[in-house]
Amino acid sequence: MILDEVITGFRLGLGGAHGRFGLMPDLVTVGKAMGGGFAISAVGGRAEFMAHIESGAVSHLGTLNGNAAATSAALATLRELGKDGGSVYIRMEGIADRLVQGILGLLEKRGIPGLVNQAGPVFHLMFTAEKRVEDFDAFNRRDAAKYGRFAELLLEEGVLIRPSGLWYVSAVHGEDEVLATLASVDLALARL
């Protein structure tokens, strides 16, 4: 069992999604969040599988493998994330919760149907009449064009988001950013 945690690794917690779900995959891929902005990815797994790479039985080749700048950045990022037992994740999740509750309140206020799927500090906001989005078909019934327009309006209000609907809260986001973002979301929704 190989888990692709390129997105979820070090975002949902130090143990990624498998740590949250209490699963022990054989191999796991991670990247992105681990570098704190630097380009890096990694694969990890059970000692018996990783030993094949160590012995050379399985070649793991790459031009930028072990790149000094990227690995130094990742080590520094992991040191910060691991401080105080990873309490930064609790804080990030709290910030995400505040943001999500605020956005849902604004949608209700404006009478715009929509919902949020959240996984820790990661969430997906979509405009849809569905009550729940738990599979790909339901996800595809969202109004993606309307969301694209929303992202455009929000940018005019000073907040840049991904037009896909996905949001990530990072360790530098705090109360001030939540309040400023919600104020802009309110203005953008009013113009939508």
**Site residues, other proteins (CB under 8 A):** 1-8, 12, 16-18, 21, 23-27, 117-119, 122-124, 126, 133-136, 138-139, 142, 164-166
* C-beta of 138 vs 171, nearer to other proteins: 138
The nearest distance, CB 49 to other proteins, in angstroms, is: 10
The nearest distance, CB 58 to other proteins, in angstroms, is: 12
Q: Which of 105, 122, 95 is nearest to 185 (CA)?
A: 105
The label of the residue with tokens 């309490």 reads 87
The nearest distance, CB 19 to other proteins, in angstroms, is: 10
C-alpha torsion angle, residues 6, 3, 15, 74 (rounded to 10): -30
The nearest distance, CB 121 to other proteins, in angstroms, is: 11
The three-state secondary structure class of 44 is strand
* C-beta of 84 vs 137, nearer to other proteins: 137
* C-beta of 67 vs 118, nearer to other proteins: 118
Contacts 24+ apart (CB under 8 A), 24-31: 25/1, 26/1, 26/2, 27/1, 27/2, 27/3, 28/2, 28/3, 29/2, 29/3, 29/4, 29/5, 30/5, 30/6, 31/6
* C-beta of 26 vs 152, nearer to other proteins: 26
Whole-angstrom CA distances from 26 to 49, 62, 153, 168 are 8, 22, 44, 27
* C-beta of 124 vs 149, nearer to other proteins: 124
Residues composing the chain: 192
The nearest distance, CB 190 to other proteins, in angstroms, is: 26
The label of the residue with tokens 């704190």 reads 36
Element (H, E) at 177: helix 175-191
C-beta atoms surrounding 27 within 10 Å: 14
The nearest distance, CB 4 to other proteins, in angstroms, is: 5
* C-beta of 94 vs 157, nearer to other proteins: 94
